[in-house]
Structure 1
Amino acid sequence: MQPLLKWLLVLAVVVLGWLWWRQQRVPRQRPPTAPPTGPAAPQPMVRCRHCGLHLPAGDAVRGRLGPYCSDEHRRLAEG
């Protein structure tokens, strides 16, 4: 066999092997992306009975007389 023909045959085998390998491998899948979420729903606001601060009702401290922004303000206002 001529040297040039031998190298062309080796190159053809390598290229065909690479193409076969590339076709057989599993394509990478991107991780699923979460759908975009809109802004959070508005929460009802309450006013601290001691200092007048407005805060979400879920964050307020409940006292006998109403909502407060902290335990300290509840203690100061209710004794």
Structure 2
Amino acid sequence: MKYLLLLIGLGVLFFVLGARRGRPSEPEARKPPPPAPPQAMLSCAECGMHLPADEALPGKGGVFCSAAHRTSFEARQGQA
């Protein structure tokens, strides 16, 4: 009977130690993700709104915040 209790105790001990080993430590789990690197901000040639460079749409005469602004700007430039 005492060997059975010893075997159960060792099983519980290995289970607890194994569960702890699989989880990250407390300071590592609370560490916030690194901030995103800064991006260049560009101004829309039509309305002047600032937007990140990776979201800007290139066109004739500058960069734009939307396809509608690019179309209206280029249409106006073609008339002049």
- Regarding TM over 0.5, the answer is yes
- In structure 2, the partner of 1:57 is 53
Instruction: Say which of 15, 26, 30 aligns to 2:23.
Output: 30
CA RMSD of aligned residues (A): 2.5
How high is the TM-score relative to the length of structure 1?
0.68
**Structure-2 change in CA distance of 1:38 and 1:24 (3 Å):** closer
| Greater share of residues in helix | 2
Gap regions ≥5 residues in structure 2: 76-80
How high is the TM-score relative to the length of structure 2?
0.67
Gap regions ≥5 residues in structure 1: 1-9
Q: CA deviation at 1:41?
A: 1.0
**Structure of higher CA gyration radius:** 1
Question: How many residues are treated as equivalent by the alignment?
Answer: 69
**Structure-2 change in CA distance of 1:23 and 1:38 (3 Å):** closer
